[in-house]
């Protein structure tokens, strides 16, 4: 079983700055969603920084990209979504980017470079966290090409680590 390295509580000032920065990126007030008196922890595993709050993994940082994890279920209702057909599911779960032909619809508004969730049409399960490559109002009109870059998905190394936790 893999162990987290260098797990420690963050200084309150650093944690507040990180949550503020991430709140702005997500366009969500994380302070309202999370308990303000809680301590934020940071750890590292397989080159990925992971941030915990009360033992729950909120977000991670890899290659200088800070993103919400699939373990941070509280955030799911607040993020916009791309719903994909069942034919796209195995590809998304292997790390493929989201392609226009597989998109059924969007839920919520998003812009280029916003974080979005990729959801399957049948079970409404979150399959991946992605970065939108287009605004939501353009996605439905496309017949081909990439619409979102897959950055964290069911079955990736981080998901497998968090599943064991």
Phi and psi dihedrals of 141, rounded to 5? -85, -10
Break the chain into its structural domains and give their ranges: 5-73, 75-154
Spatial contact of 105 and 83, defined as CB atoms under 8 Å apart = yes
Please give the average per-residue pLDDT across 60-72, as a whole number.
93
Residue 38's nearest CA partner among 13, 70, 12, 72 is 12
Q: What is the pTM of this model?
A: 0.92
Q: How many CB atoms neighbour CB 10 within 10 A?
A: 17
5-73 and 75-154 agree in CATH topology: no
Choice among 89-93, 135-139, 145-149 with the minimum mean pLDDT: 135-139
CATH code: domain 75-154 is 2.30.130.10
CATH ID of 5-73, from 3.10.450.120, 3.40.50.1820, 3.30.497.10, 2.60.40.10: 3.10.450.120
For the record, the structure tokens of 159 come out as 């998901």
N- to C-terminal Cα separation, the chain: 9
Distance (Å, rounded) from C-alpha 115 to C-alpha 1?
30
Distance (Å, rounded) from C-alpha 23 to C-alpha 68?
11
Q: Left, alpha or beta for 124 (phi > 0: left; psi -120 to 50: alpha)?
A: left
Tens of pLDDT, residues 13-57 = 998 888 888 899 898 888 777 765 568 899 998 889 999 888 788
How many helices, marked H, and strands, marked E, lie in the chain?
5, 11
Give 30 or 76, the one with higher predicted confidence. 76
Please give the average per-residue pLDDT across 71-91, as a whole number.
95
């Amino acid at each position: 079983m893999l162990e987290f390295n260098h797990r420690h509580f963050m200084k309150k000032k650093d944690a507040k700055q990180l949550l503020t920065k991430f709140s702005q990126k997500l366009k969500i007030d994380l302070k309202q969603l999370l308990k303000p008196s809680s301590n934020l922890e940071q750890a590292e595993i397989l080159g990925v920084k992971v941030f915990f709050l009360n033992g729950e993994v909120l977000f991670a940082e890899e290659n200088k990209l800070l993103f919400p994890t699939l373990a941070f279920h509280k955030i799911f209702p607040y993020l916009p979504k791309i719903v994909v057909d069942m034919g796209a599911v195995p590809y998304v779960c292997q790390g493929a980017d989201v392609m226009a032909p597989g998109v059924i619809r969007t839920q919520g508004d998003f812009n280029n470079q916003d974080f979005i969730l990729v959801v399957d049409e049948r079970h409404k399960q979150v399959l991946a966290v992605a970065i939108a490559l287009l605004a939501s109002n353009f996605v439905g009109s496309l017949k081909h090409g990439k619409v979102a870059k897959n950055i964290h998905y069911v079955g990736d190394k981080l998901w497998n680590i968090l599943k064991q936790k």
